[in-house]
């Protein structure tokens, strides 16, 4: 018999599709994988070299639980350079990815009876973490019609006397949408009046395509410094998903509590990873720009290819590396009924892996990750278009 807690959570549905695609590929089947939520680029050379040097220098033991002082200083310096904010190293903890940064914060800040607002279509982990903390997720919805923009008024309308936290992901997964500085300022001001915490999931902070003002860190730190928690990650910016490193910048008491929690669960992040991430944060940032430029080319190209099928309606995303088209017009009661069935049909028959919108609380959409080569994007979108066009002539294709 499992504990009640285990019954409250579901495993990540975004990982299910990826796992099936991996299994098929292992059988030698030519699957084009648009499911993965990670960069296809190798980790930049100078970052790998720093890891090798760490091993050679025998930097292979426990570090301080909250991370090495050098890495914390590198995080502080990067946020100072990028956003003009000042943090001390006692306001920083190094975590096993952005996921642990968010997990620590949610666990130490929220509990039974607390309402925590977040937004969908969204990354499912945010809601699951709120549930793990035994708090109540309050989910607000953004819409394709206005580019999935997260408006302050939508969040403010969900605030009740029980609201203790607001979690915002910008650029967002799966939509790539940004919250504007003005909207975040309005949220921050309302939060300040009511002693509500604002947690910012900055996992895709380096992946913004157009030069829009997007200093969310600056907005929060000037208006809500003692109630905001910034959760960052090396995963997507430096193509380091497997190294497992993120960080939290927050008031000292949140960092201290996160440190205590982490000290009884995972302890410090791998010492070698810490040296590697330090090199990433302190080194030249051209690698980030080069990857961003390539993602932009792919985004524009795939949007153009998919535009050939009017029933696949794409909003060009402002950030991250996903397209999240509305494909509801393809669905019908006597054919493919849901986007879960559509994704299954695409995988089984067209051999293309996409993530169904159901995984992000948004049936009628699917997520296509363009963090893969242009050649595969071409082959994969061609397969998707052929599959969709052939659907009209077939019935019950996904269930066959």
- Chain residues binding ligand PLP by CB under 6 A are 37, 97-99, 123, 169, 173, 201, 203, 233, 235, 241, 246
Q: What DSSP designation does 38 have?
A: S
Backbone φ and ψ of 334, nearest 5°: -105, 15
User: What's the min distance (Å) between Cβ of 331 and ligand PLP?
Assistant: 26
Q: Which residues contact 178 (CB under 8 A, 6 or more apart)?
A: 149, 170, 171, 172, 208, 212, 214, 318, 319
Minimum distance from residue 239 beta carbon to ligand PLP (Å) = 11
Pairing of strands 366-369, 355-356: antiparallel
CB of 233 to ligand PLP, least distance (A): 3
Nearer to ligand PLP by Cβ, of 83 and 123: the residue is: 123
Cα gap 279→283, rounded to integer Å: 5
**Minimum Å distance from CB 105 to ligand PLP?**
12
Q: Which is nearer to ligand PLP, 67 or 98 (CB)?
A: 98
173 versus 259: smaller Cβ distance to ligand PLP: 173
Q: Least distance from C-beta 72 to ligand PLP, angstroms?
A: 17
Q: How far is the CB of 37 from ligand PLP (least distance, A)?
A: 4
CA distances (Å), 43 to each of 3, 50, 284, 372, in order? 39, 11, 14, 14
String of DSSP letters for 310-363: TTSB-PPPSBTTEE--B-GGG--TTS--SHHHHHHHIIIII-EE-EEGGGGT-T
Residues, the chain: 400
Q: Among residues 133 and 336, whose Cβ is nearest to ligand PLP?
A: 133
Considering the complex, state which of residue 172 and residue 345 has its C-beta at the smaller distance from ligand PLP: 172
Minimum distance of ligand PLP from residue 102's CB (angstroms) = 7
Least distance from ligand PLP to the Cβ atom of residue 243, Å: 9
Helix/strand/coil for 167? strand
Looking at the Cβ atoms of 32 and 168, the one nearer to ligand PLP is 168
The residue with its CB nearest to ligand PLP is 97
Report the distance separating Cα 147 and Cα 290, nearest Å. Answer: 26
> What is the residue-wise DSSP string for 217-275?
HHHHHHH-GGGEEEEEESTTTTT-GGG--EEEE--HHHHHHHHHHHHTTT-S--HHHHH
* Closer CB to ligand PLP, 68 or 235, in the complex: 235
Decide whether 18 or 31 has the Cβ nearer to ligand PLP.
Answer: 18
List of residues 6+ apart from 375 with CB closer than 8 A: none
Tokens of 363: 């049936």
């Amino acid at each position: 018999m499992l504990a009640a807690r285990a019954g409250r959570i579901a495993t990540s549905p975004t990982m299910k599709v990826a796992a099936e695609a991996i299994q098929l590929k292992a059988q030698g089947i030519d699957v084009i994988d648009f499911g993965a939520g990670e960069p296809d680029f190798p980790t930049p050379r100078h970052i790998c070299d720093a890891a090798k040097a760490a091993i050679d220098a025998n930097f292979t033991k426990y570090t301080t639980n909250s991370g090495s002082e050098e890495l914390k200083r590198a995080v502080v310096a990067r946020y100072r350079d990028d956003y003009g904010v000042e943090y001390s190293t006692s306001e920083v903890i190094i975590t096993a990815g952005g996921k642990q940064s968010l997990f620590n914060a949610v666990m130490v800040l929220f509990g039974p009876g607390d309402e925590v607002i977040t937004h969908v279509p969204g990354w499912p982990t945010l809601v699951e973490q709120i549930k793990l903390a035994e708090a109540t997720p309050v989910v607000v919805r953004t819409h394709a019609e206005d580019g999935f923009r997260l408006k302050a008024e939508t969040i403010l309308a969900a605030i009740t006397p029980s609201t203790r936290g607001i979690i915002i992901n910008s650029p967002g997964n799966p939509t790539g949408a940004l919250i504007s500085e003005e909207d975040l300022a309005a949220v921050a001001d309302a939060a300040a009046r009511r002693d509500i915490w604002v947690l910012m999931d900055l996992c895709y902070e380096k992946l913004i395509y157009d030069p829009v003002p997007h200093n969310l860190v600056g907005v929060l730190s000037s208006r809500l410094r003692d109630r905001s928690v910034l959760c960052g990650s090396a995963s997507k910016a430096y193509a380091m998903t497997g190294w497992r490193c993120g960080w939290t910048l927050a008031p000292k008491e949140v960092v201290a509590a996160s440190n205590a929690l982490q000290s009884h669960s995972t302890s410090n992040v791998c010492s070698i990873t810490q040296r590697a991430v330090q090199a990433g944060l302190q080194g030249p940032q051209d690698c980030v720009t080069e990857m961003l430029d390539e993602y932009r080319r792919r985004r524009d190209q795939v949007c153009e290819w998919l535009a050939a099928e009017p029933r696949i309606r794409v909003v060009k995303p402002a950030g991250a590396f996903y397209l999240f088209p509305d494909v509801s017009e393809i669905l019908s009661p006597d054919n493919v009924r849901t986007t879960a069935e559509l994704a299954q049909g695409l995988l089984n028959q067209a051999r293309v892996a996409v993530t169904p919108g159901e995984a992000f609380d948004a049936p009628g959409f699917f997520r296509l990750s363009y963090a893969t080569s242009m050649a595969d994007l071409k082959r994969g979108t061609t397969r998707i278009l052929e599959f969709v066009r052939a659907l009209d002539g077939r019935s019950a294709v996904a269930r066959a």
